[in-house]
């Protein structure tokens, strides 16, 4: 696994790689502050909703006629691919569904994306913070900002395990 290095003020968790992949180390670090069943349940709902809201907000902003959704998704998939091509590939259907949901919501709200996406994002983050209060631990993203995109991968790893597949 990994060992915590003493004496680091900038980042409480320092990973010693000792042969594990970067993805495994990040997921294990993320797992440390996600053990309470209520916090886990909250993450199953709030994490995807927060990402959906971010996608909607990115879609609503365009530069030179190009929606920021596409660069946002490209960066996210490149990051996932840098960790594991299996992870990146497994997120493609999820992203496709989220794009359809964003499109439907935008149709229903006549393009006023912010009216539903901003409150959804705020409520999702408040729920995630509440889950961590129940857990009794600071959200791991506050300790290591690299973990901002690890939450969805952590959920995907749990799906892989439930299906009896090896970790991504």
Virtual torsion, Cα 42, 108, 54, 134, nearest 10 deg: -20
Q: What is the pLDDT of residue 111?
A: 80
Distance CA(27)–CA(37), nearest Å, equals 17
Distance between CA 159 and CA 146 in Å, rounded?
22
Q: What is the pLDDT along the chain (168 residues), one digit of tens a residue?
A: 323 334 434 444 444 444 468 888 889 889 888 999 999 999 999 999 999 999 999 999 989 989 999 999 999 999 999 988 999 999 999 999 999 999 999 899 888 898 999 999 999 999 999 999 999 998 888 888 878 889 999 999 999 999 999 887
pTM of the model: 0.82
pLDDT for res 20 = 61
Which residues make Cβ contacts (< 8 Å) with residue 105, sequence separation at least 6?
56, 113, 116, 117
Give all strands (DSSP E) within 14-152, no chain letters: 62-63, 66-67
The Cα–Cα gap between 70 and 92 comes to 13
Rg of the Cα trace of the chain? 17
H or E segment at 155?
helix 150-162
């Amino acid at each position: 696994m990994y060992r915590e290095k003493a004496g680091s003020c900038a980042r409480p968790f320092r990973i010693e790689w000792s042969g594990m992949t970067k993805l495994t180390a990040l997921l294990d670090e993320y797992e440390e502050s996600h053990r309470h069943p209520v916090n886990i349940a909250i993450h199953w709902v709030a994490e995807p909703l927060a990402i959906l809201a971010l996608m909607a907000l990115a879609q609503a902003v365009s530069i030179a006629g190009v929606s920021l959704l596409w660069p946002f998704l490209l960066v996210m998939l490149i990051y996932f691919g840098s960790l594991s091509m299996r992870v990146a590939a497994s997120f493609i259907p999820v992203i496709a569904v989220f794009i359809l949901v964003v499109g439907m919501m935008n149709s229903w709200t006549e393009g006023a994306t912010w009216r539903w996406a901003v409150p959804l994002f705020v409520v999702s983050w408040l729920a995630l913070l509440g889950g961590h209060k129940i857990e009794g631990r600071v959200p791991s993203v506050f300790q290591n900002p690299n973990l901002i995109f690890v939450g969805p991968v952590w959920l995907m790893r749990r799906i892989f395990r439930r299906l009896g597949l090896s970790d991504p």
